[in-house]
Amino acid sequence: MTGVQAPSSPTVRRRELGAMLKSLRAERGWTAEQVAERLMVSPSKISRLETGQRGASARDVSDLCKLYGVDDDQRQQLLQLARETKQRTWWQRGGLNDLTYLGLEEAATSISDYGLGMMPGLLQTADYARAIVEAAVPKWVPEVVQERVESRMIRQKILVRDNPPHFEAVVDESVLHRVVGSPAVMRAQLERLLELSVLPNVRLRVIPHDAGALPAGNNKFIILSFALPTLSDVVFIEGLTGDLYLDDPRDVEVYNTTFRALAQMAADPEATREIIASMIPSYRKQPH
């Protein structure tokens, strides 16, 4: 596989800019309400700027720099970050509804993925992904299904790009037994797991059925970590009616502790490959 260089992520640039603006405010001992009052804007706007939920315009940055009394070098740095938050990327095309997650994933240096019901998205074959998307409620029209499958395949390039993230996935053994699509689809999916599991930056673990009760309260979460020390880890939880992003250090630590506990219950990577390989013949025997 050839290396693929990742583009800059405007999502993470927004978070980086927000963290710097929040730090400048904290250095002056002001609350978000006090800053909002001085700039005659709403406190919610200041909050959204500092959390990266809203992109900052050049005017926003200039006003805040003037208020905080920053020097010209730092002002130029902040303005450059603001410009980078406006860059267009492949995932900002029409039809995709998880733009925030895609932007975070693209810039992550470490991804920890736990799943009880399906294969991790970064390890899915196109046929497996299509079956998963088609099973979603509400049902998607064929054009949306195809677009989402294609975006998932593009996402997987991060595993083989230059300087790829460390990717660790923990899945329950039931995921290997659940027939998604057809036996032929499952056979190809398991073969794909074996292929990807030997990459130096990928670690796949399966929790055997006899491992006991699972410590996770929900059946799917992903922890994303970043190189910049100013950016906290983010826990992503996908919901039926809305997604949840957690970055409070106390919440993140709970999920990190839970993920470590799940990994300890799971078979090691080599034993996991043996489990997967042992199941492939059963899918060959089944009708397509």
Query: What is the residue-wise DSSP string for 267-287?
Result: PPHHHHHHHHHHHHHHHHHS-
Q: Kindly state the tokens that stand for 146.
A: 């195809």
Gap between the Cα atoms of 50 and 35, Å rounded = 12
283 in Cβ contact with 186 (< 8 Å): yes
User: Per residue in 170-201, pLDDT tens?
Assistant: 999 999 999 999 999 999 999 999 999 999 99
pTM score: 0.79
Q: With residue 245 as reference, give the H or E element that holds it.
A: strand 244-246
**Is 56 within 8 Å of 49 (Cβ atoms)?**
yes
Closest CA to 6 of 232, 160, 178: 160
Residues 136-174 pLDDT 10s: 888 888 888 998 899 899 899 999 999 999 999 999 999
**Does residue 26 contact residue 34 with C-beta atoms inside 8 Å?**
no
